[in-house]
Chains A and B, each alone.
Chain A
Amino acid sequence: MIPSHPDRARRGPGTPPGPSTGPVAPGDGTGPPRGVPAGKGGRTGTYARDGWSRLRRWSTTTPARVWTLSVLCAAMIVGLFASATSTLDQARNGLDVLGRGAGPQAMATTELYLALADMDARVADVLLMGTDHDLGSGREDALAQYEASREQANEVLLQAASLTEGDTVEERNVQEVLDGLGVYERLVTEALLRNDEAQAPPGEADERALGSYRSATLMMHTELLPKAFNLGLDSSAIVRANHEDGQASVALGLAWVGGVGVAVLVALFALQVYLRVRFRRRFNLPLIGASVLTVGLTLGVVLALVSSGGHQRDAKEEGLDAAMSLARGGAIATDMQADQSRYLLDPEQADNHQQVYLERAQQVLFRPVNNLADYYEAIDGVTAAYPELPGADGSDPDDPGTLGYLGERAHDALLPGQEDRLAQVLTAYNELQAQDRELREAVREGDVEAAISIRMNIAHSEDGAFVTYERALDGLTEDHEEEFTRGIGRGDAVLAPWTWLLPVGSLLLLLLVALGVRPRLAEYR
């Protein structure tokens, strides 16, 4: 097994001399320096100079070079470990913030709008019912729902207050909604009290009660709901910024891992080449093993990061973003259906409430029409044509297509198996619009009693057209929420094994390098 060691070989006759810079014999590195003129220089400088030149001489010896290259390899391996650990940590942190921090918070804030819109809807229903407490699912039920939504809104707001601390714009926004909600509740209490005192029959709210409700609903729609909606948008913006910053730093980390991985390979290659030239050995199995392991480790980490990044993006886009968008659509639909009660409750502003109803409906599902009669037809058409979407081919320059929260959901790639669910949502929405048409026809024919009955049946909390629509929509939203949880889980799972694979792999790399150079260095002992 004794190799054709250049230094040893030199001792044999007829062998060519080694490189002039090479050592003369084993142990050379620690031997006395050659050619240093002893005694030259001052006494004080001698030791230092001796040490320096000895080091310089040693550095030109074979073991020194083997050592240098080995240390370089080890340093690069440590660098690979460090860059991979830090990037994996960033990726884990990104998943954590999205999955357990900013993501769920954004979802909760989005639901604030729903809670507020629902409060105002229930009040309108109760005022419309007047003395007939058994219309639809009844007054008690409506008041209980109001209370539940009020509690939910307060809960979300208190949570938001602690989360937005420090962000002056948002903090103030939350505070204004909290304060405004107090004022709103007082107005509502006043409206209900006045209507009860006046013993107002269904559909004929007391004038003073109506005055209080007008102030309340105006405040809800000009101050509370817009700010609540904006808070939800802002928390989505925070999620987006976190996500993009996270992805960018992981991408930067990927570059580092890739770069350092290549550097490890170069260092290992240099070491192998040196050993080959110097020691005339064709292969160094441990070092080849180390190179293969480096490639494996680097690629493994890179693939894990890319794959977890993909899962994170899916969780955000197909999960959270879609769920939040549907939740917003649901909240606006809640406000929209309450416009039916407001329309019946306040004949003076009926035109206004009807127009606003159409506007909110257009936000949920848009078709290019100007009035409700055309809207009913258009929605009927969308439901019948689905999964085809009217106007999607862009052939008509005046028809931008089927848009709004539901329309855009239908355009975007749905999750597998969701077409049926969306079809159910559209059918339920179409039914809601069909009943709206009946309601307004009854009003036009002067049959307000029938109109109120239709309205209260739509609002029935067990089997009304609106709750049917809400349930269908919730099914779709839950799918996306599950997709979100699943994406985060998959991302975590891809990264999980690297908590031990990376340190074990790095240690193994160091061990292989040691194994690769140790026999060579041993030859110099």
Chain B
Amino acid sequence: MRFRHRRVAAAAALATAAVVGLPACSAVLDGEESLVDADSLVVGVKADQPGLGLETENGGFEGFDVDVALYIADRLGIPGENVEFVGVTSAEREEKLLNGEVDMVVATYSITPGRKTQVTFGGPYYVAKQDVLVRAEDTDIQGVRDLDGMSVCQGAGSNSAARITEGLGIPVERVEGETYSDCIAQLRDGRVDAVSTDNLILAGFLAEDPGAFRFVNNPFTDEKYGVGLPYGDIEACEAVNKAISRMYQEGEATGMLDRWFGNTDLEMVHSVPQFEGCD
């Protein structure tokens, strides 16, 4: 990223340090570079999540996360042409943010207490719920408890099936797919009975083929999709939150959700989520 340096503040801080060299100055000097002063941005998004972050044939990225990132960047004063998207996998998100390869991560990145010790999260910009996708014709599955004894596919390294077995105490056969695309393929072929993960991710697949599957629509956990920021960049976090509030107030969020998931039966929330707080 490039920065619009606030020379006055920096000079003042240096002058202060030079002349007085007192603890009071540390507060000023600690105010390191913040994304709010950047004039370009590298954003990490998913490359393989239809509807959320998907790499297109010409090397660009598209999806709800991409739209959200562009909106936020715009509110931070960074025009779209100065925003560069790079694909990140779930496992890479912290690392790429920590080593500065990306300035911001908008990649179905759930805010968890553990991650909050390494990453400052703006948002959430959407609260997805864990849900289950089944074949459209399997109408006897009406609730999550109807999955008793069935096979449920989850992505590699995911925790979602454990929430059904351990969290709710429903015995299901856990199947691991390499990716969620793999799980969806298995569901289509009848090799598994259900796919479990965040409803927004499932809606992205459903949107590609709305007649093939349906939601059990028994959302049972909150997945708070946050905007991952360099740890401690509170100013950027607050600016991101303000941008997200505005995104909902202006109806932009509704437009984006409709654009990517409008043809599915996903129950969407069109009101601003409860933010996590920046400190």
Could you tell me how many residues of chain A have their Cβ less than 8 Å away from some Cβ of chain B?
52
B19 near A248 with CB under 8 A, answer no
Contact of A355 among B24, B221, B249, B273 (CB under 8 A): B221
> Which of B15, B169, B274 is within 8 Å of A229, CB to CB?
B274
A227 at the B interface (CB under 8 A): yes
Q: A172-B249, A351-B218 are in contact. Are A370 and B163 (CB under 8 A)?
A: yes
Interface segment among B186-194, B206-214, B240-248: the answer is B240-248
Chain A residues near B218 (CB, 8 Å)?
A: 351-352
Q: Once the chains are docked, how many angstroms separate the CA of A365 from the CA of B275?
A: 18
Asked if A266 lies at the interface with its beta carbon under 8 angstroms from chain B, I say: no
Q: Do B277 and A233 touch across chains, with their CB atoms under 8 A apart?
A: yes
> In the complex the two chains form, is A313's CB within 8 Å of B114's CB?
no
Given the known interface contacts A225-B274, A240-B234, A248-B27, the answer about A230 and B241 at a Cβ–Cβ threshold of 8 Å is yes
| Contact of A247 with B24 in the complex, beta carbons under 8 Å | yes
A371–B274 touching, CB < 8 Å: no
- B156 contacts the other chain (Cβ, under 8 Å)? no
Distance to closest chain A CB from B163 (angstroms): 6
Interface residues of B in 226-262 (CB under 8 A from A): 234, 238, 241-242, 245-246, 249
| Interface segment, one of A206-214, A302-310, A450-458 | A302-310
Say whether A254 faces chain B, with CB atoms less than 8 Å apart.
yes
With A233-B275, A310-B24 as contacts: A368 and B16 at CB distance below 8 Å: no
Residue of A nearest to B246 (CB): A169
Select which of A233, A305, A400 is within 8 A of B113 by beta carbon: A400
Report if A230-B23 is in contact (Cβ < 8 Å); known contacts: A251-B16, A404-B113.
no
Are A251 and B246 CB-contacts (below 8 A) given A226-B271, A351-B218? no
The minimal Cβ–Cβ distance linking B122 to chain A, given in whole angstroms, is 11
- Measured CA separation A173–B275 after assembly (Å): 13
Q: Is B279 part of the binding interface, using a Cβ–Cβ cutoff of 8 Å?
A: yes
Bitwise, B59-70 to A at CB < 8 A (1) or not (0) is: 000000000000
Chain B residues within 8 Å of A125, by CB: none
The verdict on A296 contacting chain B, using a C-beta distance below 8 Å, is: no
Asked if B80 is at the interface (CB within 8 A of a chain A CB), the reply is no
| Chain B residues whose CB sits within 8 angstroms of the CB of A371 once the complex forms | 166-169
Judge if A55 is at the interface, Cβ distance under 8 Å: no
Given contacts A255-B20, A306-B24, A355-B221, whether A237 and B278 have CB atoms under 8 Å apart is: yes
Q: Is A403 an interface residue (CB 8 A)?
A: yes
In the bound complex, residues from chain A placing their C-beta under 8 Å from that of B269 are: 222
Which B residue sits closest to A232, measured CB to CB? Answer: B277
Whole-angstrom CA separation of A226 from B28 in the bound complex: 32
* B22 adjacent to chain A (CB < 8 Å): yes
Q: How large is the interface on B (under 10, 10 to 19, 20 to 34, 35 or more residues)?
A: 35 or more
Do the beta carbons of A255 and B245 come within 8 Å of each other?
no
Q: Please tell me if the beta carbons of A400 and B114 are within 8 angstroms of each other in the complex.
A: yes
A322-348 vs B, Cβ < 8 Å mask (1 yes, 0 no):
000000100000000000000000000
Does B171 belong to the interface (CB within 8 Å)? no
Chain A 172-187 per-residue mask, 1 if CB under 8 angstroms from chain B, else 0: 1100100000000000
Pick the residue among A226, A240, A302, A400 that contacts B20 (CB under 8 A).
Answer: A302
Query: Are A255's CB and B22's CB within 8 A?
Result: no
Q: Which residues of B contact A244 (CB under 8 A)?
A: 27, 31
A456 to B220, CA, bound (A): 25
Please tell me if the beta carbons of B278 and A233 are within 8 angstroms of each other in the complex. yes
Whether B275 pairs with A251 at a CB distance below 8 angstroms is no
* Interface assignment of A148: CB less than 8 Å from any CB of chain B: no
Give the residue among A236, A255, A359, A403 with the most B Cβ atoms within 10 A: A255
Kindly supply a per-residue 1/0 record for chain A positions 234-262, scoring 1 wherever the CB is within 8 Å of any chain B CB and 0 otherwise: 10110011001001101110110011001
A-B contact pairs, 13 of them (CB 8 A): A176-B249, A234-B241, A240-B234, A241-B238, A244-B31, A248-B12, A254-B22, A255-B16, A255-B18, A259-B15, A352-B218, A352-B219, A370-B163
Chain B residues packing against A (C-beta within 8 Å): 9, 12-13, 15-16, 18-20, 22-25, 27-28, 31, 113-114, 116-117, 144-145, 159, 162-163, 166-169, 218-222, 234, 238, 241-242, 245-246, 249, 269, 271-275, 277-279
Besides A226-B271, A258-B20, A371-B166, 14 other A-B contacts (C-beta < 8 A): A173-B245, A173-B272, A226-B273, A230-B272, A234-B241, A250-B24, A251-B12, A252-B12, A351-B218, A351-B220, A352-B218, A359-B221, A370-B162, A371-B167
